[in-house]
Amino acid sequence: MTDLIDLMARLPGLGPRSARRAVLHLIKKRGQLMGPLAEAMAQVSATARECLNCGNIGTTDICEICQSEKRGNGMICVVEDVADLWAMERSAQFKGRYHVLGGTLSALDAIGPDELRIPKLLDRIASEQISEVILALSATIDGQTTAHYIADQLPGVTVTSLAQGVPVGGELDYLDDGTITAALKARRAL
């Protein structure tokens, strides 16, 4: 039980205290929760793998999105992480394919283009006849440095980035100065 708590405490968002509570809860719900959870974890652990093309996580060498003919519409959305890809998919608005970089360029952490999936992205632009690359990267310094680096490598392809600004349901009074500045710069005619 101590081992289990120690392992759970390493999960993002959980500390030792929440790990203890979670383990106690699992033990109390052994039949409904702990057994099925252990089975699901064993199964995912045995079958989950990175898509060789885009870096998404699935159960096959090439993920469903990369396999789908319908998704081959000439658009690639570049994200940092699989969690970002899943967030984009939840919105169900993007009909193209993805490319997961696995992070951002960072001089501080010595992460260069070869540490990310940037060379593979450049291969895909040519082999999948990509006409537009949408950069959906973080609005951080590293995220924007990465976006500019990628844009510089892609002459002849339309490179766009997600708009930054006022969130849906957001009140101006609650936004920070940077967000308001970005929203003002990205304003458009009504």
Residue 40 beta carbon to Zn ion: minimum distance, rounded to whole angstroms:
22
Residue 143 beta carbon to Zn ion: minimum distance, rounded to whole angstroms:
22
Using the rule CB under 5 A, is 101 a contact of Zn ion?
no
Q: Which is nearer to Zn ion, 66 or 150 (CB)?
A: 66
CA distances from 46 to 63, 64, 91, 166 (A): 16, 18, 29, 42
Residue 65, sorted as left (phi over 0), alpha (psi -120 to 50) or beta, turns out to be: alpha
Residue 134, sorted as left (phi over 0), alpha (psi -120 to 50) or beta, turns out to be: beta
Q: Which is nearer to Zn ion, 53 or 142 (CB)?
A: 53
Residue 13, sorted as left (phi over 0), alpha (psi -120 to 50) or beta, turns out to be: left
Residue count at the site for Zn ion (CB under 5 A)?
Answer: 6
Closest CA relative to residue 121, chosen from 58, 76, 69: 76
User: 63, 82, 121, 133: which one contacts Zn ion (CB under 5 A)?
Assistant: 63
Using the rule CB under 5 A, is 51 a contact of Zn ion?
yes
Helix (H, G, I), strand (E, B) or coil at 85: helix
Contact of 34 with 21, CB cutoff 8 Å: no
Using the rule CB under 5 A, is 53 a contact of Zn ion?
yes
Residue 71 beta carbon to Zn ion: minimum distance, rounded to whole angstroms:
9
Q: What is the CA radius of gyration of the chain?
A: 20
Q: What mask, x for binding Zn ion by CB under 5 A, covers residues 119 to 138? A: --------------------
Using the rule CB under 5 A, is 56 a contact of Zn ion?
yes
User: 54, 75, 116, 135: which one contacts Zn ion (CB under 5 A)?
Assistant: 54
Choose the binding region for Zn ion from 65-73, 87-95, 113-121, 153-161 (rule: CB under 5 A): 65-73
Q: By CB under 5 A, name the binding residues for Zn ion.
A: 51, 53-54, 56, 63, 66
